[in-house]
């Protein structure tokens, strides 16, 4: 069968520097109060990296300390230390830790080939969810996405879907991202992430929600410049939807860890199964680094060389990554 195209994914391990977060998004089951949250020790982080040798990407996913709070400097220093640790292990950190000051973003960009911050969305439904989450205000999110563009940081953003927003609001949010991309060109990927309730048992998307997801993917593909990769996490929709998801415009399945830290009730499909299903339809699954190849030339030379080494690591361990679901 002729190959129809390449779908990418990133073998990844998630490190959580802290669950302490000064925001209180109403849907969040990840956060702990800042003063009661344990901090991930460097020795623990090393052990997690050593246990996952094929995970080229290290997703640093952290709760947030308020700007100006006395604990902010220590929190940020720890993000830097964990990023440096990932590099020492031959891995590539990708930090998603909320809005950063210019100084903080510049410092992390020397260690992180790419970073991320979800736009999440706009409109009354999002405002209701984020009444006690100052860093989730639309103004703050847009300023952060602009800042990343101005600084030339390859960036991942996205929308959280299914929290009460309308299709028209999804469309407006996609227009905002398209405008940002036309100004700065830094959005390497946009994640379209269905919100899923917590609990012991996964609650799968209803057929109407599946259709809305497919329509949103198609709309995103139409509105966003062609170089922006579209991603949706494969554990948050029924695996049988895979062909339609790809036909609608998805080109990337994101960083896949053994567990989803944010949605622990939703197991990741085995990568070997994803590969098989894709091959059956004429698609190839290809491992990538956290920064997509088209943005490698944006990186400082030392970091670019590390990314090139990371890509070679991926090529040498891809069979192992499939087998161990990394």
**CA atoms of 140 and 128, how far apart (whole Å):** 16
**CA atoms of 296 and 309, how far apart (whole Å):** 12
With respect to ligand SF4, which residue has the nearer C-beta, 133 or 236? 133
**CA atoms of 131 and 61, how far apart (whole Å):** 22
Place of tokens 């101005």: 150
With respect to ligand SF4, which residue has the nearer C-beta, 130 or 306? 130
Q: Does 31 sit near ligand SF4 (CB under 6 A)? A: yes
Stretch that binds ligand SF4, among 18-26, 105-113, 137-145, 174-182 (CB under 6 A): 18-26
Q: Under 8 Å CB-to-CB from 117, ≥6 apart: which residues?
A: 96, 98, 99, 141, 144, 145, 148, 155, 156, 157
**CA atoms of 31 and 37, how far apart (whole Å):** 8
On whether the CB atoms of residues 11 and 311 are closer than 8 A, the answer is no
**CA atoms of 107 and 303, how far apart (whole Å):** 13
Stretch that binds ligand SF4, among 28-36, 71-79, 103-111, 141-149 (CB under 6 A): 28-36
Q: Does 137 sit near ligand SF4 (CB under 6 A)? A: no
With respect to ligand SF4, which residue has the nearer C-beta, 144 or 289? 144
Stretch that binds ligand SF4, among 21-29, 44-52, 280-288, 300-308 (CB under 6 A): 21-29
For 145, 177, 227, 250, 280, the CA distances from 222, given in Å and listed in that order, are 21, 12, 12, 12, 26
Q: Does 66 sit near ligand SF4 (CB under 6 A)? A: no
Structure tokens at 218: 């198609």
11, 53, 63, 99: residue in contact with ligand SF4 (rule CB under 6 A): 63
21, 65, 79, 159: residue in contact with ligand SF4 (rule CB under 6 A): 21
With respect to ligand SF4, which residue has the nearer C-beta, 11 or 20? 20
Number of residues that bind ligand SF4 (CB under 6 A): 10
With respect to ligand SF4, which residue has the nearer C-beta, 28 or 272? 28
Provide the minimum distance between the beta carbon of 293 and ligand SF4 in the complex, in angstroms, as a whole number. 29
Which SS3 state, helix, strand or coil, does residue 33 take?
coil
Stretch that binds ligand SF4, among 22-30, 86-94, 236-244, 263-271 (CB under 6 A): 22-30
**DSSP for residue 18:** B
Stretch that binds ligand SF4, among 24-32, 46-54, 151-159, 310-318 (CB under 6 A): 24-32
Q: Point out which residues bind ligand SF4 (CB under 6 A).
A: 21, 23-25, 28, 30-31, 63-64, 133
């Amino acid at each position: 069968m002729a190959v129809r195209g390449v779908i990418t994914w990133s073998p990844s391990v998630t490190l959580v520097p802290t669950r302490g977060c000064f925001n209180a998004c109403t849907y969040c089951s990840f956060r702990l109060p800042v003063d009661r949250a344990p901090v991930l020790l460097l020795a623990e982080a090393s052990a997690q990296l050593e246990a996952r040798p094929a995970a080229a990407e290290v997703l640093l996913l952290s709760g947030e300390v308020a700007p100006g709070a006395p604990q902010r400097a220590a929190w940020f220093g720890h993000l830097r230390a964990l990023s440096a640790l990932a590099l020492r292990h031959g891995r590539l950190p990708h930090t998603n830790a909320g809005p950063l000051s210019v100084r903080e973003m510049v410092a992390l960009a020397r260690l992180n080939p790419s970073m991320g911050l979800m736009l999440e969305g706009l409109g009354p439904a999002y405002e209701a969810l984020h009444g006690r989450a100052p860093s989730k205000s639309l103004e703050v999110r847009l300023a952060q996405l602009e800042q990343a563009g101005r600084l030339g940081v390859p960036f991942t953003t996205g929308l959280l879907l299914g929290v009460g927003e309308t299709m028209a609001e999804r469309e407006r949010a996609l227009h905002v991202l398209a405008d940002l991309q036309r100004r700065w060109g830094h959005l390497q990927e946009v994640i379209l992430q269905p919100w899923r309730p917590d609990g012991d048992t996964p609650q799968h998307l209803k057929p109407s929600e599946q259709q809305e997801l497919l329509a949103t993917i198609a709309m995103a593909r139409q509105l966003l410049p062609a170089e922006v990769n579209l991603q949706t996490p494969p554990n948050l929709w029924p695996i049988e939807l895979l062909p339609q998801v790809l036909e609608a415009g998805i080109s990337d399945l994101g960083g896949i860890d053994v567990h989803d830290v944010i949605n622990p009730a939703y197991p990741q499909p085995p990568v070997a199964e994803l590969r098989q299903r894709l091959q059956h339809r004429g698609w190839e699954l290809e491992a990538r680094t956290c920064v997509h190849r088209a943005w490698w030339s944006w990186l400082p030379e030392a970091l670019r060389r590390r990314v090139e080494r990371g890509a070679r690591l991926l090529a040498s361990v891809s069979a192992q990554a499939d087998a161990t679901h990394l």
